[in-house]
Structure 1
Amino acid sequence: MAGSMQQAVGSQYALESMQFARDKTWQVVNRVAELVRPGMLESEATTQCKAVLEELGMDRIWHPVLIRFGENTLRTFKQRSVGDPRLKENDIFFIDLGVVWDRHEGDAGATFVVGSDPEMKACADAAKSVFDEVEHHWRSTGAGGKALYDYAAGRASALGWRLNLEIKGHRVSDFPHAIYRAGDLGDFAPCPDAGLWILEIQLAHPTRPFGAFYEDLLI
């Protein structure tokens, strides 16, 4: 492993198990997204998500299930949702899951749109596009974590969105990753090793009260 103890892993760590945890987490994200419908409360979507996780046999949840509707898509991970909004006919929402499968941490998140608001659709698409561009930059240049977020900010701005730099990615590993005290990816100077870091992109519309989120494992 390159770098320091910030990229250390436990004795049970396996890259293949990280891939498995990633795939299972995405399975839940996409399945829950299909269950979310206009008229549903944010809390109801969260309850349904937890039921899907139990059904699919997760080891445990390692960070709270976050499903954000409407204006709450601007809230950061550490901020609570405002109220318990009901999804509108034309609306935006994201799902952010941190789940342990086979003793390894999955973490995935994406934004979805119901109805026909073109700016909401564009915002959701932009979060994925910026993620893809930053991931490609990592693969092609070996850029460090801080440089990756500098690049992300530039790409988001070029596309007409604001990048929330309070959300800067983080470590994952065999559970629990917190023992490695790695800090945020956006504060990590070396090139992040594959299978250890989550790249998070959270965008905000420049004038309207909504945003979009996308995250996945750098692998």
Structure 2
Amino acid sequence: MASVWVPVLYMFIVFGGLAVFSYIYRRNARTKSLPPYFPSHAERNAYVTLLGKTDPPASDALLKSALVRRAMADVHRVLRLREDKMALQALLQKGSIGDDLWNSFLAAEKEIEAEIMEVVAEANTFVEGWGQVIFPTANEMIANEKMRSLFESVEETKQTLALKYGIPPSGGLPALTLAPPAPQTPSKHSDGDASSDGESATSPRTPSKSSAKKGKKRK
């Protein structure tokens, strides 16, 4: 009779231990804090610090600038989440990543939604309706910064290549200096022709002898 209860007791101990272990593991997994998907929000911390200053208080211009910088950081995070979502979903389906990373991503999405609403509310405290345009403004500023960094990198590349290949920094071909042609001195023959032409053009014609005789006969 005892031999019948031994395997039953053994199975009860094994399955009971597994159930207790699973319960404890799940409870610890729920209570364990998820690793943050993004690092600390430095721009938000800077804005909150400036907003809390009272002696002396921060100016509105400084607070607005800090709020725009905060919105720009939020735009960067939104773009990062959009880029990573499809890749994380594919990796999660393949089993390449764990649920902890996916849960961290979902928590980051909820956090950025709350952050955007908070920025919009803060912008409306300065100017009514500014919350509707602060993120488009942040988008434009990000695009301008990208263009400026692109131009700066092009200039740095040009300088590096100029130093590498020994090209002068100014570049291009040397400027050509064109001197005006020297005035031509007229020859003696041309002077004579010009003077004779001038005299024939300006001096009156002297009457001939035949015309003088005809004049006498008429008289």
Structure 2 length-normalised TM = 0.20
Q: Which structure would you say has the larger Rg?
A: 2
- Of Structure 1 and Structure 2, which has the larger fraction of its residues in helix? 2
Query: How does the TM-score come out when normalised to structure 1?
Result: 0.20
